[in-house]
Structure 1
Amino acid sequence: MLDFLVIGAGVVGLAIARRLARAGREVIIVDSGSSIGSETSSRNSEVIHAGIYYPTGSLKAQLCVSGRRALYRYCATRGVPHSQIGKLLVATDENQRPTLEALANKALANGVEDLHILSVAAAKAMEPELHCVAALLSPSTGIIDSHQLMLSYLGDAENAGAALSLRTPVIRGMRKSDHWQIGLGGDEPDDIKTRHVVNAAGLQASQVARALGLAPDRVPATHFAKGNYFTLQGGKPPFSRLVYPMPEPGGLGVHVTLDLGGQVRFGPDVEWIDKIDYSLDPDRAAKFYPAIRRYYPALADNSLVPAYCGIRPKLSRDPRADSDFLIASEADHGAPGLVCLYGIESPGLTASLALAERVAAGLGVPPSAEDAELFHTR
């Protein structure tokens, strides 16, 4: 009988499978897609977050900070492409100063101890194209090649004996006396027995939980927040660091990110949708220009080109709510041997190793010596 079935081959599912397999457990990963990380994990800003924004004590705050430290260590040992380029968090008018100060205090409470308050002159010395009235520098923010990270997680898992099956949706599930009977669809439908199930299906996590037979009142609704990205065409990149304005309801504001090749991207915005749809309306650029020009006044007309969009799974559609991660175990849903992860949006990539550690620890699976070292406080 299988030890663990991990549903979802995004960055978090792969991190969990890696952690369990390296502890000597027999693991199979299934995903309904045709490639790993084809949804949220490959359609984001590819930012390693410091842990600034999240409510103190929340899972997002705790796991972002510990996960960020572990992720930098992991990337260094595995050769995963990344760069700790830093981020400027900016107030663009005097009314935003209190918000910036509140974020600085929240970050400190969350364990982010390396923020630096910058004068306008110091901020502009770093980024001459920038407009602001106040700024914070986050040196521990970085960027990463998310696909290479997922390949590294998968390689570690497979080297430890795990197996991956793509185009394999979970059709149904039933809890027996001491195991789960899981019905798998796809090209080669099958029924398998497993002692434990980890539902890390991202956008489909609620749907999968219902397929596993959980009572409707034990399955939270997943809401879809679409984020659109535009790239800057032509000329030299105006920034060498990430630039973030003040957060907005449902997101962190239309910000500047860079990929490892230096390409400038702006986004994401927040567009609530009722079903998964990855089309990008070029006309949304009309709202990007005024938002970007608050901190980058020199942005030229007609310089934004549609890039891609991603969808974030959120547990609340209320823009005033700070939706947290939810790791639901038997105490939450009543089903033994099942862990469901809901609302795993940003900073899920940054927190992926920490999420895996939290899930494995909750299941009583100790880490390998190397994985324990990733979280060792120096």
Structure 2
Amino acid sequence: MEQVEAIVAGAGVVGLAVARALALAGREVVLVEAADAVGTGTSSRNSEVIHAGIYYEPGSLKARLCVRGRDQLYDFCESHGVGHKRIGKLIVAAAPEEVAYLEKLARTGAANGVSDLKMLSGAEARTLEPALRAHAALHSPSTGIVDSHGLMLALLGDMEAAGGMLALSSPVLAAEAGTDGIILTIGGPAPLTLRCRLFVNAAGLDAPALARAISGMPPHLVPQEAMAKGSYFTCLRKVPFSRLIYPVPEAGGLGTHLTLDLAGQGRFGPDVEWVVERRYAVDPARKTSMLTSIRRYWPDVREEDLAPGYSGIRPKIPGVDDKAPDFLIQGPAAHGVTGLVNLFGIESPGLTSAIAIAEQVRDVTAN
């Protein structure tokens, strides 16, 4: 039986970052991906936003890894020529009763180490964005956008330059944990069995199912996952905004916000739709409710401005002790399986936090 030191399952942005971190630390790494390309799931179906770290419970993994990962991501993009822009965003209170929530966000962001937030009056916000309707706004200059595909290719390049290997069309079908390592059954065009000392389950939406397929993994420690589909609509005319515009958050997400890509194309989303199947087609009928949300901060948007764009599905897990859901980086100390690290609930701000998450996994597995 062939043996390799470390195997990472899932070549999304987080799996790529983890494999890169392990390879740069001198570990022998194989990154296996069920699809025939990297980043075909959640990593390529999102807003491509570099989050500042405003929304997350102080002290949570999301808060700590987002703020650290944000700075690391900007540095990585600069050093590797990855397209990005520190564009900034406004979080908008459309009515007086929403101002208290902005003030709460400002306090949360400050507690998380986001030091450049500024409360604006409606008039001050409109000075920055004249087409905006706002009673007040919270300005976040550190928020940005990134070319997610360019980022993933750069992470892959670093991993391979450090000796790591990528195997596409190679789904992990089962795993058996033992005292001398973890034995993986890998399918695809060239099925094989591999033994490794370290196995990182970074399979995103498939992470809970993969964990349940690992013999020796306590099933009660695998969280019950849910899938939140978010649809995006493309704006067919040039939007009159130079920054990202976010409303006060909605249950299950951050509200139907306006983001811009690096070419200046505007897109609105995501909304929230709880689903049980992975169907990515965008229902045109969702435009109606989306327009209602958008018009609270951009009253001049027209129905004919929006066309179905794309959708993504976020891997949701329950929060603990009535707290908001957090990233779960679950190592041997939690589940007792030597050499296994599970990554559960890696949704937003997973893209922003990817390099910081990878460092955390590297440090958990250092011995």
TM-score bracket for this pair, using the shorter chain length: over 0.9
Q: Can you list the C-alpha shifts for 1:130-158, whole angstroms capped at 9, x where unaligned?
A: 00001111010000000000000000000
Q: % of aligned pairs identical?
A: 53
Q: Can you list the C-alpha shifts for 1:72-97, whole angstroms capped at 9, x where unaligned?
A: 11111111000001000110001101
The one-letter amino acid paired with 2:219 is P
- Shift in Å, 1:119: 2.2
- Shift in Å, 1:262: 0.3
**What is residue 196 of structure 1 aligned with on the other side?**
198
Q: Can you list the C-alpha shifts for 1:177-222, whole angstroms capped at 9, x where unaligned?
A: 2211110001100001111000000000001111112232121111
Q: How many residue pairs are counted as aligned between the two chains? A: 363
- C-alpha distance in 2, partners of 1:290/1:284? 11
**What is residue 165 of structure 2 aligned with on the other side?**
163
Asked if structure 2 preserves the Cα contact closer than 8 Å seen for 1:223 and 1:317, the reply is: no
Partner residue of 2:235 out of 232, 237, 246: 232
The one-letter amino acid paired with 1:228 is S
Q: How does 1:27-66 map to 2 (within 5 A)?
A: 27-66=29-68
**2:100 match: secondary structure:** helix
- Shift in Å, 1:16: 0.4
Asked if structure 2 preserves the Cα contact closer than 8 Å seen for 1:170 and 1:211, the reply is: no
Larger CA deviation: 259-268 vs 215-224:
215-224
CA RMSD of superposed structures (Å): 1.2
**What is residue 152 of structure 1 aligned with on the other side?**
154
- Shift in Å, 1:23: 1.1
Mapped pair 1:221 → 2:230? no
- C-alpha distance in 1, partners of 2:178/2:302? 62
- C-alpha distance in 2, partners of 1:177/1:341? 22
**What is residue 364 of structure 2 aligned with on the other side?**
362
Q: How does 1:1-378 map to 2 (within 5 A)?
A: 1-213=3-215, 214-234=217-237, 236-316=238-318, 322-364=324-366
**2:271 match: secondary structure:** coil
**TM norm structure 2:** 0.97
- Shift in Å, 1:316: 2.5
- C-alpha distance in 1, partners of 2:211/2:303? 47
- Shift in Å, 1:121: 1.8
**TM norm structure 1:** 0.94
- Shift in Å, 1:237: 2.1
Asked if structure 1 preserves the Cα contact closer than 8 Å seen for 2:223 and 2:318, the reply is: no
The one-letter amino acid paired with 2:232 is Y
Q: Flag structure 1 segments of 5+ consecutive residues without an equivalent.
A: 366-378
Asked if structure 2 preserves the Cα contact closer than 8 Å seen for 1:15 and 1:153, the reply is: yes
- C-alpha distance in 2, partners of 1:97/1:304? 29
- C-alpha distance in 2, partners of 1:64/1:301? 35
